[in-house]
Amino acid sequence: MAKNSRKDRPKTFVANVDISLADRMIADLKNQGFEISKPQYTVFMAKKQGVSCALYESGKLTVQGKDKDTFIEYYLEPQILQDFSYSYGDLNIDTSARIGIDESGKGDFFGPLCVAGVFAEGEGISGLRELGVRDSKAMKDAEIRDVGKAIRARYAHHIVKINPHKYNELHRQFKNLNHLLAWGHATAIEKLVEKTHCNEVIIDQFAAEHVVETALKRKQMEVHMTQRHRGEEDIVVAAASILARLTFIEGLDQMGEEFVCQFPKGASSKVVQFGKDFIIKYGKEALDQVAKTHFKTLDAIVGNASQSKFPMRKPFQRRDE
């Protein structure tokens, strides 16, 4: 789906907006991290790094900044203007039927690995844009939850959720993360093809093309598959990325309920410190239930676990204790 050339776009975007939408916009923009003010002759002015916008009493809206195009494409057009002519000109949005596949949790020490597939076609693809679907990495958890639940309720989908204990078993079996991911992708594709009879598939490429192709051949699956880097630029893949991320953060929530704590994301020093405290309470073996134990993060945790600077906190008490 081709977009209007960025070099042809003006530095200031101007549109007319119904003043009655002002309160909703202010609330939305605050949630997106904008600072709101009210200079003379404006209904509001909103600023954050990379974007500034102002709604004037006349109903004229202006948007400026290096990140204005993303703001317009993923917020203003689908949610306020209901008009995609700035981002897509007179071109039609690609509404051809397709399955998008993406994963979440691959780089997180704690929590599951989740692969999600979403099927959409026709008006359903326009509906994804109206929901504000975009690359999940550009969205906060609260928005992931809202948009992801809407996708889950309205679109054919399949999720492969591999909780840590099973993940560790499978990783020992596959001996390679990309082969494990390929199995997850192939499984999601298989199930969605069965549901929808659609053979057009787009995935966010994570390895050499033959890796997923081989996994599909093992399942005797024949599809027309496109693998591309930055696959989330396709809106159906972006929907899959949101659904995968929603499943991942819900998986962290479930683990947190069991252990009465909040597991951190990623594999940072904060994660290492959390892991040290965790194994003081439960022992190294318990990490197999909550973490991906082939990560080098495990060495950093286990090597100095006895030197944790923080006293054990009450949150590390399981529900069943």
Residues 141 and 193 in one domain: yes
The pLDDT, as a whole number, for residue 30 is 94
Residues 184 and 103 in one domain: yes
CA–CA distances in Å: residue 31 to residues 40, 68, 218:
24, 17, 46
Residues 129 and 20 in one domain: no
The pLDDT, as a whole number, for residue 313 is 40
Residues 106 and 23 in one domain: no
pLDDT one-digit tens code per residue, 272-310: 999 999 999 888 899 999 999 999 999 999 875 444 443
pLDDT one-digit tens code per residue, 204-233: 888 888 999 999 999 998 899 999 888 888
Residues 216 and 108 in one domain: yes
Residues 54 and 129 in one domain: no
Residues 58 and 114 in one domain: no
Residue 249 dihedral angles phi and psi, to the nearest 5° = -70, -30
Residues 13 and 54 in one domain: yes
pLDDT one-digit tens code per residue, 149-166: 999 999 999 999 999 999
Total domains in the chain come to 2
**CATH number for position 143:** 3.30.420.10
pLDDT one-digit tens code per residue, 13-48: 999 999 999 999 999 999 999 999 999 999 999 999
**CATH number for position 50:** 3.30.310.10
Residues 115 and 241 in one domain: yes
The pLDDT, as a whole number, for residue 66 is 93
Q: What is the secondary structure of 149-194 as a DSSP string?
A: HHHHHHS-EEEEEE-HHHHHHHHHHHSSHHHHHHHHHHHHHHHHHH
pLDDT one-digit tens code per residue, 104-151: 999 999 999 999 999 999 999 989 988 888 888 878 899 999 999 999
233 DSSP assignment:
G
Does a structural domain hold residue 295?
no
The pLDDT, as a whole number, for residue 8 is 58
Residue 50 structural domain? 6-88
**C-beta neighbour count of 202 within 10 angstroms:** 21
| Residues 244/116, Cβ–Cβ less than 8 Å | yes
Residues 83 and 105 in one domain: no
Angstrom distance (rounded) from CA 101 to CA 213: 14
Residues 83 and 132 in one domain: no
Share of the chain above pLDDT 70, in %: 90
With a threshold of 0.85, does the pTM exceed it?
no
Select from 233, 253, 273 the last residue of a domain.
253
pLDDT exceeds 60 at position 7: no
Does a structural domain hold residue 154?
yes
Query: Can you state the angle between helices 123-130 and 235-259, rounded to 10 degrees?
Result: 50
155: tokens are 């679109």
Angstrom distance (rounded) from CA 25 to CA 242: 23
Residues 121 and 222 in one domain: yes
